[in-house]
């Protein structure tokens, strides 16, 4: 079985790629995808480590998107990482993330002894995709909260006065770009209501029209009714149905392999890849 959604410390996971891959091997999974936010930087190391551990590796990326003020995550599998129209958009989001994080820190600094330097100290290196998790880590370092999860609940939630929406790529455009780059776009946790607003049905249909390849149905944040609706949509539109953990190391309670994807689905996914990356 496969876990198709994991994060390393290239974005907001807490482990370096090698450690993550070693853990995948120890967990008994036969393969996995590395899906760091807005970055493909871990692909080479992950591919090499996977080979050493005899694991099947699918390169992936979780693209930050935004639709009418709603945050949307699109998983991209095995796209050509050198396809400029996509990489330029994603690089733009990474830069915008810095401004947004700085602005959030400015707001927080009115009530907490937090500084931009302290947030910087929480990231593995300057190329890390920065986000709220690193601000959360700074709040933990200050002793303001005990964990990332507590920071997200009590201080960094979308409803909080410190929260600033992350401007990002339109999801339909992202779907088209991933396709053009030969990858397979899969909508991440589409019915994760606990995170805030999710895409309405009509917007998901638009993504299907744009070339969406699959739905991440089995994810801990999707509601039961949401899953049932997604399964119906997948059957009607011939979309892949994936299951994944969204593992972030110690940063989230999600356990590696807690939801899985079958080898048959992975095979079908590979057959939809046109970048040549998996040949």
Q: Which two tokens stand for residue 116?
A: 């931009």
Q: Select the binding partner of residue 252 from Fe ion, ligand AMP, Zn ion, none (C-beta < 5 to 8 A, by kind).
A: ligand AMP
Q: Select the binding partner of residue 59 from ligand AMP, Zn ion, Fe ion, none (C-beta < 5 to 8 A, by kind).
A: none
Neighbours of 153 (CB within 10 A): 12
- Binding flags for ligand AMP, 185-204, as an x/- string (CB under 6 A): --------------------
Q: Which two tokens stand for residue 92?
A: 């733009």
Q: Which two tokens stand for residue 256?
A: 């590696």
State the residue number with the nearest CB to Fe ion: 73
> Does residue 166 interact with ligand AMP by CB under 6 A?
yes
Residues facing 242 on adjacent strands: 216
Q: Which residue has the tokens 């601000």?
A: 135
Q: Which two tokens stand for residue 150?
A: 């507590």
Residue placing its CB nearer to ligand AMP in the complex, 133 or 214? 133
Backbone angles phi, psi at 52, to 5 degrees: -60, -35
Residue placing its CB nearer to Fe ion in the complex, 86 or 114? 86
Site residues, Zn ion (CB under 5 A): 12
> Does residue 132 interact with Fe ion by CB under 5 A?
no
Q: Select the binding partner of residue 132 from Fe ion, ligand AMP, Zn ion, none (C-beta < 5 to 8 A, by kind).
A: ligand AMP
Closest CA to 179 of 105, 92, 83: 83
> Does residue 131 interact with ligand AMP by CB under 6 A?
yes
Radius of gyration of the chain (CA): 18
Residue placing its CB nearer to Fe ion in the complex, 89 or 246? 246
Q: Select the binding partner of residue 188 from Fe ion, Zn ion, ligand AMP, none (C-beta < 5 to 8 A, by kind).
A: Fe ion
Q: Minimum distance between the CB of residue 145 and ligand AMP, rounded to whole angstroms?
A: 10
Q: Select the binding partner of residue 251 from Zn ion, Fe ion, ligand AMP, none (C-beta < 5 to 8 A, by kind).
A: ligand AMP
Q: Minimum distance between the CB of residue 69 and ligand AMP, rounded to whole angstroms?
A: 13
Handedness of CA 102, 5, 34, 21 (dihedral sign): positive
Please give the residues from 237 up to 266 whose contact with ligand AMP meets the rule CB under 6 A: 248, 251-252
d(CA 49, CA 2): 16
Backbone angles phi, psi at 144, to 5 degrees: -70, -30
Q: Which residue has the tokens 């920065």?
A: 130
Residue placing its CB nearer to ligand AMP in the complex, 145 or 277? 145
Q: Which stretch binds ligand AMP (CB under 6 A): 27-35, 126-134, 197-205, 230-238?
A: 126-134
d(CA 103, CA 74): 25
Element (H, E) at 33: strand 31-34
Closest CA to 59 of 42, 38, 37: 42
Contact positions vs ligand AMP (CB under 6 A) = 12, 131-133, 148-149, 152, 166, 248, 251-252
């Amino acid at each position: 079985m496969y876990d198709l959604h994991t994060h390393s410390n290239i974005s907001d996971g807490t482990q370096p790629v090698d450690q993550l891959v070693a853990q995948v091997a120890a967990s008994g999974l036969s393969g996995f995808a590395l899906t760091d936010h807005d970055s493909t930087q871990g692909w080479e190391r992950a591919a090499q480590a996977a080979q050493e551990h005899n694991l099947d590796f699918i390169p992936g990326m979780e693209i930050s998107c935004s639709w009418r003020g709603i945050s949307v995550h699109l998983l991209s599998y095995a796209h050509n990482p050198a396809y400029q129209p996509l990489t330029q958009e994603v690089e733009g989001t990474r830069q915008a993330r810095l401004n947004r994080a700085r602005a959030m820190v400015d707001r927080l600094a009115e009530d907490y002894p937090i500084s931009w330097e302290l947030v910087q100290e929480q990231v593995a290196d300057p190329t890390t995709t920065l986000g709220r998790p690193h601000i959360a880590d700074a709040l933990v370092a200050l002793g303001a909260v005990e964990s990332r999860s507590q920071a997200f609940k009590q201080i960094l939630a979308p409803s909080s006065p410190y929260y600033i929406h992350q401007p990002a790529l339109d999801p339909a455009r992202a779907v088209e770009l991933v396709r053009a780059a030969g990858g397979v776009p899969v909508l991440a946790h589409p019915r994760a209501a606990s995170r805030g607003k999710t895409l309405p049905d009509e917007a998901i249909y638009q993504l299907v029209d744009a070339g969406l390849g699959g739905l991440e149905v089995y994810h801990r944040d999707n509601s039961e009714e949401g899953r049932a609706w997604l399964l119906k949509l997948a059957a009607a539109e011939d979309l892949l149905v994936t299951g994944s953990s969204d593992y972030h190391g110690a940063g989230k309670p999600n356990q590696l392999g807690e939801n899985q994807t079958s080898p048959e689905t992975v095979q079908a996914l590979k057959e939809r890849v046109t970048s040549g990356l998996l040949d």
